[in-house]
Amino acid sequence: MRVHVIAVGRLRAGPQKDLIDDYLKRFDRTGRALGLGPARVVEVDDRKGGGMATEAEAIRRALPAGAVVAVLDERGRTESSPAFADRLAAWRDQGRGDLALVIGGADGIDPGLRAEADFALSFGKMVWPHMLVRVMLAEQLYRAASILAGAPYHRE
């Protein structure tokens, strides 16, 4: 199952980008034998003045046809890392070829797009900077692949 992290805004070179690249590389290496990956980041423009509706249209254009769509939203479901790993495995085992994990811009996800999503995931009740959410998501993807592979990275 290919993984597409679709995010509003451009991430410049720096420590956050380095972390994302590292975790996604690890995910690809670990997930390959599990039928997970590759993972890629698709950035969509956050044109000023367009608002969430404009961002939602750009996100919709970036979604692969037939993909499972999961939005990251503070109103979503909080899950443990093993539960998230199980969810990825279930989508893979259902034969889903693509997973789109959507990270909105500074104002969040358009309500219409959120309603269309197959799943909403939350990293807690706190609101996180959307650039940091990319890092956290990349790490959780790697952690999920490690859990499914039985690797020692995740310890409970």
DSSP 1-12: -EEEEEEES-PP
pLDDT tens digits, the chain, 156 residues: what are they?
A: 999 999 999 999 999 999 999 999 999 999 999 999 999 999 998 776 678 889 999 999 999 999 999 999 999 999 999 999 999 999 999 999 999 999 998 888 999 999 999 999 999 998 888 889 999 999 999 999 999 999 988 776
Query: What are the structural domains, with CATH classification, of the chain?
Result: 2-149 (3.40.1280.10)
Q: For the whole model, what pTM was predicted?
A: 0.94
Angle (CA) 135-139-125 rounded to 5° is 65
